Amino acid sequence: MVNSMTGFASGRGDGLGFDWSWEIRSVNAKGLDLRLRVPDWVEGLEQSLRKAMTAQLGRGSVTLNLRLSREAQPETHRLNEQALERTLAILSQVEEAASKNGFSLAKTTASDVLSQRGVLELASDDADTNGLLSLLTFDFESVLADFCQMRAQEGAALNSILSAQVDNVAIKIAKAYEIAVERKDEMAQNLRANLAGVLDNTDAVDEGRLAQELALIVVKADITEELDRLEAHVVAARDLLAKSGPVGRKFDFLMQEFNREVNTLCSKSQNKSLTTLGLDLKVLIDQMREQVQNVE
C-alpha cells in the first residue's frame, strides 16, 4: 500500500510553565526535504525532531512549525545586588563632591535608590530546558503519528485510483493482442499484393535482397515484443502498489517505460484500430503519471 507525499497535522500542549502549538505539512518533492522552525534555545530539540521525522518519512517537502510561549505568571521582583552596589557608590561620590563645593543635597531615601535603573528587576526562573526537551519530544510523537496517518489515508485513495488505472491498461493491452492477431492477415494480404506488383514490373529481382527486405518489414511491423513488455510493466506496477514504504521513484521510472513502449507501438501499428488504442493508452498512462507524482 503506497503513501501520499501530501499531508497535514497540528496539535497543542502545555507543561513546565509553557504552552505550545504544532503544525506540520508536506507537499511533493524528489527526495526528503525537512524544514523546521523551532526555538533554538531549547538545545537538542531540532536534532531530536529531525531524527523522528527521518525515521518515519521517505519523501516529500515537509515543513514543521512550533510556537512556544511561557504561560502568564504573576510578576515578582528581586534585588540586583551588583546594580545596587554601583548605584550606592555613585551616590556616595555625588554627595562627597557636593559637600566639598558647599552644596547641600536632600537626604537619599531607599525608594530613591530602588527607582534607579537595574536595581530592582523582574524575577524569572530559568527554564528547565532538559525537561522541556523531553516533554516536547514526547508530545511530538502523537502529532507525527497523525501526520503519517493522514498521508497513509491519502495513499490508500491513490492506491485505489492507480490500481483501477493499471487494470484498465491491462484490458487495453489484451485488446491490442487481439487486434495484432487480426492485423497479421491484413498485413500479409497487403504484402503479397505489393510483392506481386513489384514482380510484375521488374525483369530481374535479387531474391536474397528481396528476402532481407521482407524480413525487415515483418520485424518493423511486429508489436509482440512491445505488448509483452507492457504486460511485464503491468505486473511490476501491481507489485509496487502492494509494497509498503517509499516506491514513488521506482513508479515514476516505470511510467517512463510504459510511455516508451506505447510510443513504439503507435509508430509500428499500421492499423487504425491499433493506433486509436495506442493513443488511448498514452492518455491513460499520462493520467497515471500525474497520480504517481504524489506517491511517496
Q: Look at residue 149 in the predicted model and tell me its pLDDT.
A: 96
**pTM of the predicted protein model:** 0.70
- Beta-carbon neighbour count of residue 140 at 10 Å? 24
The length of the chain in residues reads 296
Nine cell digits for residue 277: 488504442
Q: Look at residue 75 in the predicted model and tell me its pLDDT.
A: 53
CATH domain 7-73+129-152 topology: Ribosomal Protein S5; domain 2 (3.30.230)
Q: Look at residue 119 in the predicted model and tell me its pLDDT.
A: 75
Q: Look at residue 267 in the predicted model and tell me its pLDDT.
A: 87
Q: Domain 154-292: state its class.
A: mainly alpha
Domain ranges of the chain: 7-73+129-152, 77-122, 154-292
Cα 82 from Cα 207, distance rounded (Å): 112
Q: Are 68 and 15 in contact (CB under 8 A)?
A: no
Indicate the burial class of 59 (C-beta count within 10 angstroms; 0-12, 13-18, 19 or more): buried
Nine cell digits for residue 87: 548605584
Q: Look at residue 254 in the predicted model and tell me its pLDDT.
A: 97
Q: Look at residue 106 in the predicted model and tell me its pLDDT.
A: 78
The answer to whether 7-73+129-152 and 154-292 have equal CATH topology is no
Tens-digit pLDDT profile for the chain (296 aa)? Answer: 899 999 999 999 999 889 999 999 999 999 999 999 999 889 999 999 999 999 999 999 999 999 999 875 555 567 788 888 888 888 888 888 888 888 777 777 777 777 777 776 655 445 578 899 999 999 999 999 999 999 999 999 999 999 999 999 999 999 999 888 877 666 656 666 555 555 556 656 566 655 555 555 555 567 888 999 999 999 999 999 999 889 999 999 999 999 999 999 998 887 888 899 999 999 999 999 999 999 99
Q: Look at residue 8 in the predicted model and tell me its pLDDT.
A: 97
